[in-house]
Amino acid sequence: MPADSRYELLEEVGRGGFATVYKARDTRLNREVALKVLHEGWSDDPDFVRRFQQEAETAANFNHPNIVGVYDVGELGRRPFIAMEYVPGADLESWLARQDGPLTTAAALPILEQIAAALDYAHERRVVHRDVTPGNILVRETAVGPQVKLTDFGLVKALEGNRVITTVNQTLGTPEYMAPEQADPNRRADVGAHTDRYALGIVAYRMLAGRVPFPGGTISTLNAHANLDVPSPREFNPAVPAPVEAVLRRMLAKAPADRYATAAAFVAALRAAAA
């Protein structure tokens, strides 16, 4: 890949369906950054490139300790990129895989609290993430416990409208974490802050039960989110307290109005249920 005069690519650190992430050095400011570079094929539509950059600029205006900072946008060999804060560590899915089974509510709460703070901050500014998953949550171990940062604000919104979605593999978002209004093509106009809160509920379920309620990433997963009640987390981890399950079920209600009104309210309810 052609190098940008400002950024020296050091190593590839991640690859997804839409982009590759590199650890890079900003030669102008002499600091490490994460460079998210879109794959070929996503950069041929000038309207999409403009939309992608606008969404990155929106995220660049955020200033929150639990949101990955966005520094710059540009192109590498005609492929749009976003230069972001480099966060050493792992994504939450990898971090959870290293734990000894599901987390207790007490262990999950500090992580969920930080994600909730990031989401409420964005929602107060009328920005919806649309893909809140463990893969977009970065975890760095510190002396006072895990520090969490949410990344990829705006990427799904920018990708929407660029292509006709015809298969589950092209679905914009992650089926296992999709709210009913996202999973049902007839309801996608209803996507909003409540959609992110549902996804946060699934993240909490994953942490406490040790798995997502509807695994597989298939059309049946989308149908399940749209139409089925989630199975009890106690089915997979009997140690989940019944009051905690009740809080999860409210956050995972099919009707957005039945969910908690803020992410912080959800975490507060979890804390009270676990007391």
User: Which domains does the chain show, CATH number per domain?
Assistant: 7-85 (3.30.200.20), 90-274 (1.10.510.10)
Give the active site residue among 26, 91, 131, 152.
Answer: 131
Q: Is 249 helix (H, G, I), strand (E, B) or coil?
A: helix
Report whether pLDDT(165) > 60: no
Report whether pLDDT(166) > 70: no
Residue 241 CB neighbour total at 10 angstroms: 16
Q: What is the pLDDT of residue 134?
A: 96
Q: What is the pLDDT of residue 103?
A: 98
Mean pLDDT of 185-211: 93
Residue 134 CB neighbour total at 10 angstroms: 24
The average confidence (pLDDT) of the chain is 88
Q: What is the tens place of the pLDDT at every residue in 56-98?
A: 888 888 999 999 999 998 888 888 899 999 999 999 999 999 9
Q: What is the pLDDT of residue 27?
A: 95
Whole-number Å distance between alpha carbons of 126 and 42: 26
Half-sphere exposure of 268 (CA within 13 A, CB side): 7
Nearest to 208 by CA among 268, 248, 266, 153: 248
pTM: 0.89
Q: Is 246 helix (H, G, I), strand (E, B) or coil?
A: helix
Whole-number Å distance between alpha carbons of 182 and 195: 7
CA 171 to chain centre: 15
Mean pLDDT of 40-54: 75
**pLDDT tier at 172, thresholds 50, 70, 90:** low
**pLDDT tier at 167, thresholds 50, 70, 90:** very low
Mean pLDDT of 144-151: 95
Residue 54 CB neighbour total at 10 angstroms: 13
162 in Cβ contact with 48 (< 8 Å): yes
Is 131 an annotated catalytic residue?
yes
Q: What's the token pair of residue 2?
A: 């052609």
Whole-number Å distance between alpha carbons of 134 and 142: 19
Report whether pLDDT(168) > 50: no
